[in-house]
Amino acid sequence: MISLVRRLVMFATVSLRAIPRVIESFFGSPSATTIIPSPSGVRFWLQRLGLYSLREPLEVAADWAYLIDHSVQIGTVKIFVILGVRLTELPSPVRPLGFNDVRLLALIPTENSNGEIVAKQLEQAAERTGIPRQIVSDHGSDVKKGSELFAALHPQTKVVCDAAHFGARLLKRCFEKDVRWADLILKLGQTKARIQQTGDAFLLSPSLRPKARYMNLASVLRWGRAILTLIDRGGVDGTASARAKVRYGWIEEFRSAIYEWSRWEATVRCCVSFIRTHGLSPDCESELTTVLSSRPMDERDFSLETELIEFARSQSEGTYSHEHLVGSTEIVESLFGKWKTLERQESNSGITSLVLSLGAMLGNWDNLRIQHALEKTPVKNVEDWCQKHLPPSVQSQRKLAFSHSKERKQITPDRHDALSYV
């Protein structure tokens, strides 16, 4: 039952509130012998599994790779996450890392972070696994400095930049230097405001994300090429082409720019895809060169190819023969996305006890491991961890602040927020 519930929550994104109804749909009407888990019970199961994953013994070895990042929400607290994977256990055949491939090594709520703090947190994680072979991050200022400080004390550790973030910074530099891009975004916004409540709403352009927009350009550029093609077809597509020409006739002046930007994006995307699936190795530079040169000319930008190949060379430098290092922290970003989906409206309360469920999302959880985890991790351990590591939630502080004076004496901040949303 616990294994089923975990899969429903983690992989089918069923909400905690909906679990009893979903389970009932499997078993029919509850009988005296049917146990339907409550939302709060499911929550504690996930928290207990997650806390166990932070404490279970791991093999000390020299081939661990650390994937590190911070996540922030409302309030002052953010979490520092370290995921780990053994290089000798990387997926074969080659593919991107999945949730089952990695383990949660550290989950640290913190209000302050800098290079020195990150370095200390890495040292603490190394007590559990041994000194890692590599550390991969997005090279934000604090995690980059912390990784370098750690590597200065442990020369066997190689510090690697996530390929996707490097590519995004490369694209950001190119697009921000091109005044045509800002002009296009302005006109797209104006056109969207005019047509979103009309019969031409089917022509709306995709929205760029406010954050990490240079990692998500493909949909906008693909739409731009499609609109140009639609306009070029003229009478063949009848009303659709006529409407597109009326609404987006101005896009003709950006035709050459859109195809140039598409080459930029396609070149970076190809490099990122190669590194996140094949990793970094002594042959990475030559293999990436071959992959890039085999692509159609309308998807290549030679200047960016040169920079990307140099990036692959520098990141692969120092790798051992037949060794493959991890080149992407994509799995960390996916984990944060899964966590925020699980939280739903609870994310408005800042970092709550549900953050412990991160460990339940990762690794293989067969029935024996689940049983062992629950035997070793009672609910009291979860409550103690939350009391020690999490500040009062935004919701509990709001409840305290807006309560009447008589009630205020009886209300204390709920630090772990275990039952606030069930």
Q: What are 88-97's pLDDT values in tens digits?
A: 999 877 789 9
- Omega before residue 93 within 30° of 0, cis: yes
Judgement on whether residues 223 and 87 belong to the same structural domain of the protein: no
Judgement on whether residues 229 and 240 belong to the same structural domain of the protein: yes
User: Can you list the alpha helix ranges (DSSP code H) found in 177-254?
Assistant: 179-195, 218-233, 239-248
Q: Give tens-digit pLDDT for 264-314.
A: 999 999 999 999 999 999 999 999 999 999 999 988 999 999 999 999 999
First-to-last alpha carbon distance for the chain, in angstroms, is 20
For residue 86, give the CATH number of its domain.
3.30.420.10
Phi, psi for 83 (deg, rounded to 5): -100, 150
User: Can you list the alpha helix ranges (DSSP code H) found in 74-154?
Assistant: 115-129, 141-153
Judgement on whether residues 250 and 358 belong to the same structural domain of the protein: no
> Residue 403: inside a domain, yes or no?
no
Mean pLDDT over 403-417 rounds to 51
Judgement on whether residues 30 and 148 belong to the same structural domain of the protein: no
The model's confidence at residue 420, banded by pLDDT at 50, 70 and 90, is very low
Judgement on whether residues 174 and 307 belong to the same structural domain of the protein: yes
Residue-level pLDDT at 400: 75
> Residue 401: inside a domain, yes or no?
no
- Relative orientation angle of helices 218-233 and 255-278, to the nearest 10 degrees: 140
Phi, psi for 404 (deg, rounded to 5): -70, 160
> Residue 413: inside a domain, yes or no?
no
The verdict on pTM exceeding 0.85 is: yes
The model's confidence at residue 33, banded by pLDDT at 50, 70 and 90, is low
> Residue 418: inside a domain, yes or no?
no
Listing DSSP states for 47-75 in one string gives HHHHHHHHHS-----S-EEEEEEEEE-SS
The model's confidence at residue 120, banded by pLDDT at 50, 70 and 90, is very high
Judgement on whether residues 250 and 377 belong to the same structural domain of the protein: no
The model's confidence at residue 405, banded by pLDDT at 50, 70 and 90, is low
The model's confidence at residue 112, banded by pLDDT at 50, 70 and 90, is confident
Judgement on whether residues 305 and 203 belong to the same structural domain of the protein: yes
Q: Give tens-digit pLDDT for 196-227.
A: 888 888 889 998 876 667 888 999 999 999 99
Judgement on whether residues 33 and 79 belong to the same structural domain of the protein: no
Residue-level pLDDT at 208: 82
- Which has more pLDDT, 32 or 233? 233
> Residue 408: inside a domain, yes or no?
no
Residues of 191-225 as b/e, b for ≥16 C-beta within 10 angstroms? beeebeeeebeebebeebeeeebbbebeebbebbe
- Give residue 111's Cα distance to chain centre: 21
Least confident of 61-75, 128-142, 202-216: 202-216
Residue-level pLDDT at 421: 33
Q: Is 8 left (phi over 0), alpha (psi -120 to 50) or beta?
A: alpha
Judgement on whether residues 288 and 241 belong to the same structural domain of the protein: yes
Judgement on whether residues 241 and 95 belong to the same structural domain of the protein: no
Judgement on whether residues 183 and 126 belong to the same structural domain of the protein: no
Residue-level pLDDT at 417: 46
Read off the tokens for 16: 């905690």
> Residue 6: inside a domain, yes or no?
yes
How much of the chain exceeds pLDDT 70, in percent? 90
Identify the domain containing residue 39 by its residue range. 2-56+352-391
Asked whether the predicted pLDDT for residue 72 surpasses 50, the reply is yes
- Give residue 89's Cα distance to chain centre: 22
Mean pLDDT over 33-53 rounds to 89
Residue-level pLDDT at 345: 62
Least confident of 35-49, 93-107, 297-311, 344-358: 344-358
Mean pLDDT for the chain overall = 87
Q: How many domains does the chain have?
A: 3
> Residue 346: inside a domain, yes or no?
no
Judgement on whether residues 202 and 149 belong to the same structural domain of the protein: no
> Residue 196: inside a domain, yes or no?
yes
Contact 168, 212 (CB under 8 A): yes
Mean pLDDT over 410-415 rounds to 48
Mean pLDDT over 319-344 rounds to 89
Strand pairing partners for 289? Answer: none
Q: Write the single-letter amino acid at 278.
A: H
